[in-house]
Structure 1
Amino acid sequence: MSKRKVREPKEDNVTLGPATREGELVFGVAHIFASFNDTFIELGINALHIKLRATGGNKTKTPGPGAQSALRALARSGMKIGRIEDVTPVPTDSTRRKSGRRGRRL
C-alpha cells in the first residue's frame, strides 16, 4: 500500500479593499438611514464620508434619534470621519398631503 498524501493547509492572505501603504487613509462611505423605528448603517473601509438619510415625503425631514448615536459610535470606534452630508429626499414641488379634496374637517 502506498502512503497517503497529507495536504498542508495553505494560508491565504485575504484583503478587503484596495492595497494601501501603512498609515494611508482610504475613504469609504457610510450610509446611515435613520427612521423613527430603525437605524441602518452600511460601512466603508477605514475612513468615512457619512451620508445621513431620513424618511422622505412632506412630513418631518429630520433624521431619527438613532442617527446621532450611530455617528457617535462610529467616531468612538476609531474611524476617521471626512464629511457629513444629509441626503434626505426632498420633493421639489410639494407632494400631495394626506386628506380629501376639501381637506380635514373637524
Structure 2
Amino acid sequence: MAVLATFPTAAPVALLGVRAPVWLIAVAMFTAGVSSDVLGVLWSTTIHREIPEESLSRVSSYDYFGSLSFAPLSLLIAEPLAAAAGLVVLATGAVLLAPGVRRLTAP
C-alpha cells in the first residue's frame, strides 16, 4: 500500500512537462501531497512495527539522513529530470518487484 502511494507524485511533474493548465497542476499537486502524507504515516508505522526498539533511533537517524542528504543534488538535477516523470513510475514498479515489499503485511 505504501509503495503504491508514490504513484501520484509523478503526475505534477508530467503535467508541468506538457504545459497543462494551472488548475490541473494544482489538483495533481494536492493529490501528490495527500499521497505523500499517506506514505509518511505508513512508513513510520512500519518502521516502528518492524525495527526492534533498541535499534529504532539509529535506523530512524539513517533513514532521515538518507532522505535529506540528496536534497541539494535533487534540486540541481530537477529540471533535466522533470521531463522524465516516468522514472517515478518505473522506480515504484521496481520496488514492487522486491518479494520482501510485496509480502510485508500488518499483523
Do they superpose with TM above 0.5?
Answer: no
Normalising by structure 1, what TM-score? 0.26
Normalising by structure 2, what TM-score? 0.26
Q: Which one has a bigger Cα radius of gyration?
A: 1
Q: Which has the higher helix share?
A: 2
